[in-house]
Amino acid sequence: MKSALIIASALTLSACATGPSSNTFTHAAGDTAFTGWVRFSNGEFQLYGDEDQVLQPFSRPCVSGAASRDEMIQAMGDLRGQKVRITGRTVAWSEAVNGRIEYARSDIRNDCGETFVILADDIRPAN
């Protein structure tokens, strides 16, 4: 009986770890807006679709991006781990040079590993 409980618990936990995310960020042409939870690392932000993802190290899926250096400094101080609305445009990661995209004195390394990144004009708390 005890081993059956352990197995059932393990299956439940593995289902949670591999279950689908509500992360629905997609590469779009032109200006766009994204709403999600943000984490800052290595001079870029990572945007997550689910609040619990931002609390887990190395969580995926996410989308990397950056804003101007001044906007990033402000956002890192005020918005870490919060739900945000980011406006800007997306760029295909295939446009990276030497494994990074430079944008407004910020570097994007694409720690999320997506096929695109966000070049943000504005990062603010989501309503």
Residues 45-73: tens digit of each pLDDT: 999 999 999 888 878 899 999 999 999 99
Report how far residue 12's alpha carbon sits from residue 90's, in angstroms, rounded to the nearest whole number. 36
What are the structure tokens assigned to 112, written together? 């999320």
Measured from the Cβ of residue 11, the count of other Cβ atoms closer than 10 Å reads 10
Single-letter amino acid code for the residue at 35? T
Give every residue of the chain whose pLDDT is below 50, as ranges: 1-23
Predicted confidence at residue 8, as pLDDT, reads 39
Sign for the CA dihedral angle at 107, 50, 115, 33 comes to: negative
Domain 21-125: which CATH class? Answer: mainly beta
Specify whether the CB–CB gap between 82 and 54 falls below 8 A: no
Predicted confidence at residue 62, as pLDDT, reads 94
Specify whether the CB–CB gap between 36 and 64 falls below 8 A: no
Sign for the CA dihedral angle at 89, 91, 97, 100 comes to: positive
